[in-house]
Amino acid sequence: MNPPRDRAGIGRRNPPLPLSRPSLSAPLVAHARFRIGDQVRHRLFNFRGVVFDIDPVFANSEEWYEAIPEDARPARDQPFYHLFADNGESSYIAYVSQQNLVRDETGDPVDHPAIAALFQQQADGGYALDASHWH
């Protein structure tokens, strides 16, 4: 059996795609203020960090979000940053909303063991992604 043909006589195995597609619902995303490698500090808590990943909107678990006191919960529809963080006593991974971060102007290095695996420290105190991790 021959496949159906369109008006131009060209064979077609599948029906044409509809001209209108359903629209996707996505939140309006604010511009990310920080980039990978930027050094930041939390505006309320005493820790600094280096950005190593960015989510355009909240992308952590509901359990994580609900653990934050309701009056302190950040809006979900803003960038969230993954940080190699240091509070002077310990190092850890932090997940922080854009509204709670400011640029760290100290120029002091962040003390986290994972930084050297991804970044090279620059003369100005900032961090640049190691070329082996570019894609």
- The DSSP code sequence of 11-64 is B-SSPPPPSS-PPP--PPPPPPS--TT-EEEESSSS-EEEEEEEESS--S-HHH
Which of 74, 125, 119, 115 is closest to 93 using CA atoms?
115
- pLDDT tens string 84-119: 999 999 999 999 999 999 999 998 999 999 999 999
Average pLDDT, the chain: 85
Per-residue pLDDT, averaged over 33-38, amounts to 96
More confident residue, 102 or 8: 102
Q: Please give the CATH number for the structural domain made up of 39-133.
A: 2.30.30
For the chain, the structural domain boundaries read 39-133
- pLDDT tens string 56-83: 999 999 999 999 999 999 999 999 999 9
